Amino acid sequence: MKEIIECVPNISEGRRKEVVEEIIGNLKKLEVKLLDYSSDEDHNRTVITFVGGSENVVNAAVQVARDAVRLIDLRSHKGAHPRMGAVDVIPFIPVKNVTMRDCIEISKRVGKIIGEELGVPVYLYAESAKKEARRLLPEIRRGEFEGFFEKIKDPEWTPDYGPQEVNPTAGVTAVGAREFLIAYNINLSTKDISIAKKIARSIRESSGGLRYIQAREMPLDEKGCVQVSINILNYKKAPIYRIFEIVKMEADRFGVSVLESELVGLMPMKAALDSLSFYLQFPELNEDQILETKIYE
């Protein structure tokens, strides 16, 4: 059974195309499958997505990190997105025939190499975190590159791997294992942003809603409506259908209905089949029952 791990390095360069192309070009020579890479100029950041088996994913992640450290100088980096490292964060996601535990091991191997060979302090985050305070990326990243020269002296923030000093040009890096994240939006039949705000607040974990859910309101001026913009951090524990039905129910009390859903990027087949099973009342519907899965197995 072929194992598939997804890796999504975020690097702090979204403007100098030649730098991004060099990193991508080197990545393409390796035994992993590049699924996507997209640069955001405002954010000055590029998100790279590739998949492969454990050994290959380790090699590829290290190479992206090595290139980013060599080519990016954070002292001159400006962008809308908060960042703390040339390679800012490297998550590993279990996709097929591989467990979260395997991905935690992989993140530790990669973290150790980045720390020791590239001389960049590494923090294990998400499922790999050794302390609760390091689970959430925004907590680690608080203060960003510039603030880390002080932050790293705090014993609370001793890195998990690598030197006890910030790399002068490449900062620090977070490496960890996490579940696949689904970015999912629901558009509502109203222009009243306060309604989207109330609904976002009612579903997100941080306001006492559902675990694993981040949500906020967004005005969509061109479409003439408002949106509840959602991140599902664990689609197995917080399935899409449940989010959708709760948003629909909450909207209904304001006399508002759902115009449409929107998926940003990808979702795993299991997430799609789980929601379909809910609606069509399949006790179990798995990937083996999908023709395409059998073909590509």
The residues carrying an active-site annotation are 81
Q: Whose Cβ is closer to a copy of itself: residue 76's or residue 296's?
A: 296
Question: 111 with 124: CB under 8 angstroms?
Answer: yes
Going from the C-alpha of 94 to that of each of 8, 57, 100, the distances in angstroms are 12, 12, 6
**Could you give the CA distance from residue 246 to residue 85 in angstroms, rounded to a whole number?**
38
Q: How far is the CB of 96 from a copy of itself (least distance, A)?
A: 8
C-alpha to C-alpha distance for 201 and 207, rounded to whole angstroms: 6
Minimum distance between the CB of residue 47 and a copy of itself, rounded to whole angstroms? 15
Nearer to a copy of itself, 1 or 280 (CB): 280
Give contact residues for a copy of itself (rule: CB under 8 A). 4, 6, 33, 35-36, 51, 95-96, 180, 240-241, 244, 258-263, 265-269, 272-273, 275-276, 279-283, 285, 287, 289-296
Identity of the residue, 6 or 217, whose beta carbon is nearer to a copy of itself in the bound complex: 6
Shortest gap between Cβ of 240 and a copy of itself (angstroms)? 6
Distance CA 278, CA 32 (A): 34
Nearer to a copy of itself, 1 or 154 (CB): 1
CB of 223 to a copy of itself, least distance (A): 12
DSSP 167: B
- CA-to-CA separations, 19 to 16, 45, 151, in angstroms, rounded: 6, 12, 29
Nearer to a copy of itself, 76 or 279 (CB): 279
How is residue 69 written in tokens? 């450290």
255-294 b/e with 16+ CB inside 10 Å = b? Answer: ebebbeeeeeeebbebbbbbbebbeeeeeebeeeeeeeee
Find the shortest distance in angstroms from Cβ 91 to a copy of itself.
14
For 213, list phi and psi in degrees, rounded to 5: -115, 125
Angle between helix 17-28 and helix 54-71 axes, rounded to 10 deg = 150
